[in-house]
Structure 1
Amino acid sequence: MSFVVTVEPSGHSFTTEKGETILEAADRHGISLPYGCRNGACGSCASTLVSGTVIYPDDDEIITSDKPDDYCLTCQAIPSSDITLRAHEIETESDEEVRNLICSVEQMDQLSHDVMRVFLRLPENERLQYLAGQYLDFILEDGRRRAFSMANAPHDDELIELHIRHVPGGEFTDYVFEKMQVGDRQEIAAPMGGFYLREDSDRPLIFMAGGTGFAPLKAVIEHAFHIGDKRPIHLYWGVRSKRDLYLGELAEQWAQQHPQLDYTAVLSEPDADWQGARGFVHETVLRDHPDMSPFDLYMSGPPVMIFAARDAFVEAGLDRDRMFSDVFEWAQDNPNK
């Protein structure tokens, strides 16, 4: 049986399915309620139950036994009626708390000749609340930082996924490819950045990635699928050669499984047998969409690509306020991202 949850003071409402916690249902509907550990231990998700009733798994009755009757742990509470909840929603990056955490390297997969996928596990009983598209900083022993976008959407946050490209001679990426091992401990600071999906818009979406700029767009796209966003999406991914499309099969799978998404790979230095788009990725976008005025544009990649594309898209009618990029967040201070 499903129930309706209404959140004050925003007035947002959503439904829960049988056996689903309030937090799980909120995530599914794209409503970001605060949380920490997701297992009832930390109390970060505690909200006020204004009306209605909830139930808890047996083990969690102890957690709430000495709390007021209106105390509600949304990560564990399952509605048993329609309820009204008073909670602070996370709606912008300014609502997010930047935290320093010691993580462990859980898994490493070399996806291509120069891209390593690294999964980080957070400390026990910790979860990182963030918006799809945001990034983290690795904090090096001497205090320097290296920034990388988180490539997984927040609803799938058991591990943090990163796509790290090897830059020859780059101190940190040399370390990742030559010395980093599963089990290593790494200090991070997260979340950061203003690159995230504007869910209040009904405009069609163009996503443009260059190289490992695919990582934050992957997170945003998977978040859009998760919340049921039906806006048309055209994903463009620009790289040098076919081998640089390190998760090209995943993008192709999205296009097959989700009718609202189209995918175009663009190679700047293709082999002779390449039958797809060629040249600079932003030029392909403009050939397909000479009038950019109807769109929201999200782009991520090398600064030279972003800055060239920005000016060209404005000339094609795109409103600067409808153009979003993480390059403005990190390019100056974190050149080795």
Structure 2
Amino acid sequence: MNETLVNSQKHRITLAGTAQSFECDNDDVLLRSALRNNIAFPYECNAGACGNCKFELIQGGVEVKWPEAPGWTAKDRERRRYLGCQSMPRGDCTIKMHSNQRYAPIHEPKRVTGTLTSRRPVTHDIGEFRFELSDGMRFEPGQYALLALPGVSGQRAYSMSNIVQGSDAKVLDFQVRRVPNGEGSHALFDKLAAGEQIEIDGPYGMAYLRRDVKRDILCLAGGSGLAPMISIARGVAADREMQGVNVHFLYGGRTPRDVCGRDMLEALENFGKRFHFNAAVSDARGDQWDGHTGYVHELAESMFGDGLRDMEIYFAGPPAMGQAIQKMLLGREVSFEQVHFDQFY
């Protein structure tokens, strides 16, 4: 049987103890196929590291895409537990997993073809890449997509910085930081040429803009965490029902040349009135810098203090930054129901 026919096969996945089942393509993974069928399959990183998408295989067989995934342990193997984001069906299966409506997709993810049409520098090590889509995609500000890049093992998760205009997005913009020895960023910066096509799978992520919440918003960003936070700010600006909401955007960089995002905020209506930008750098030695010296979580605490409890808070950036923000918010007794971030590793 040729590869095309193998990849076009569909298998029936049944959820043990329920009346639910769904079809999964031979070349798709159980987690993402379930979400495509509006089944609330819990997940977090979508990349094999966190282990939040584990399920028990009751009947049938699966192929594991990444056997060395950090989230899959020897004990899991013994108990026939697998990662939903790494498991492709090799026949009809029955699985046991604990569905949670929190993870029900707002927009069912889809796989489309993206054509790279342009790229531009944002900073010395962050670039913005625009892809035109073969089919429109709906997503919420703050969500991400998975990119299948040439020469890269597995997909890479990058957040969109634009918002949906009209019924569907025809283009996706990604702001990506060049990571030393990073396969994904190397492929984007150095391998992929304008006009080339890749598969894009999305949207995913739980740190999307809560449009029904009307309190002021704090966005905290570092590195390429700029993209989802810019998307959220743009989403607020475009939503007439959120006209009374103010957005405070704080960006953290190592040095002044790492700071970015202000020009994108300045392009929004009512910048300086509803939309505010501040930045912090941890190392200003030898540079002229009149902003905050320190870390972005320290800047947030010094600016808002206990007022953080009255804000809806979104953040994205390096893991160490995320951990410091969470610790600070915990110390300020901020309810984590009003804190939104996607855990990447």
Deviations 1:289-313 (A, max 9, x none): 1102111111111111111211211
Of 114, 118, 121 in structure 1, the residue corresponding to residue 129 of structure 2 is: 118
**Contact 1:115–1:246 (CA under 8 A) maintained in structure 2:** no
State the shift of 1:285 in Å: 0.4
**Contact 1:255–1:263 (CA under 8 A) maintained in structure 2:** no
Indicate the SS of the match to 1:97.
coil
- 1:166 and 2:202 are equivalent in the alignment: no
The number of aligned residues is 237
**Contact 1:96–1:129 (CA under 8 A) maintained in structure 2:** yes
- Aligned in 2, Cα 1:120/1:138: closer, same or farther, shift over 3 Å? same
Equivalent position amino acid for 2:120 in 1: D
1:106 corresponds in structure 2 to 117
1:224 corresponds in structure 2 to 236
Deviations 1:73-127 (A, max 9, x none): xxxxxxxxxxxxxxxxxx986132111112110111122221111000101xx21
**Contact 1:164–1:173 (CA under 8 A) maintained in structure 2:** yes
Indicate the SS of the match to 2:305.
coil
**Contact 1:93–1:192 (CA under 8 A) maintained in structure 2:** no
**Contact 1:121–1:158 (CA under 8 A) maintained in structure 2:** yes
Q: With the length of structure 1 as denominator, give the TM-score of the two structures.
A: 0.66
- 1:241 and 2:252 are equivalent in the alignment: no
**Contact 2:246–2:274 (CA under 8 A) maintained in structure 1:** yes
1:314 corresponds in structure 2 to 330
Indicate the SS of the match to 2:174.
strand
1:129 corresponds in structure 2 to 138
Deviations 1:248-299 (A, max 9, x none): 3223444863511221011111244100111000011001111021111111
- Aligned in 2, Cα 1:145/1:209: closer, same or farther, shift over 3 Å? same
2:191 corresponds in structure 1 to 179
- 1:265 and 2:279 are equivalent in the alignment: yes
Q: With the length of structure 2 as denominator, give the TM-score of the two structures.
A: 0.65
**Stretches (4+) displaced over 3 A:** 140-143, 252-258
Task: Please give the alpha-carbon distance, in whole angstroms, between the structure 1 residues aligned to 2:292 and 2:272.
Answer: 22
Of 143, 154, 162 in structure 2, the residue corresponding to residue 152 of structure 1 is: 162
- Aligned in 2, Cα 1:265/1:97: closer, same or farther, shift over 3 Å? same
Indicate the SS of the match to 1:154.
coil
Q: Which moved more, 1:291-300 or 1:279-288?
A: 291-300
- Aligned in 2, Cα 1:93/1:269: closer, same or farther, shift over 3 Å? farther
State the shift of 1:321 in Å: 0.8
State the shift of 1:155 in Å: 1.8
Indicate the SS of the match to 1:94.
coil
Unpaired stretches in structure 1, ≥5 consecutive residues: 1-90
Indicate the SS of the match to 1:117.
strand
Unpaired stretches in structure 2, ≥5 consecutive residues: 1-101
The two structures, once aligned, show a CA RMSD in angstroms of 2.0
Q: Which moved more, 1:281-290 or 1:92-101?
A: 92-101
- 1:200 and 2:212 are equivalent in the alignment: yes
Task: Please give the alpha-carbon distance, in whole angstroms, between the structure 1 residues aligned to 2:298 and 2:260.
Answer: 22
State the shift of 1:225 in Å: 0.6
2:297 corresponds in structure 1 to 282
**Contact 1:130–1:154 (CA under 8 A) maintained in structure 2:** yes
Task: Please give the alpha-carbon distance, in whole angstroms, between the structure 2 residues aligned to 1:207 and 1:154.
Answer: 19
Deviations 1:133-187 (A, max 9, x none): 1000012467611100011011273310001111111112112222221001111
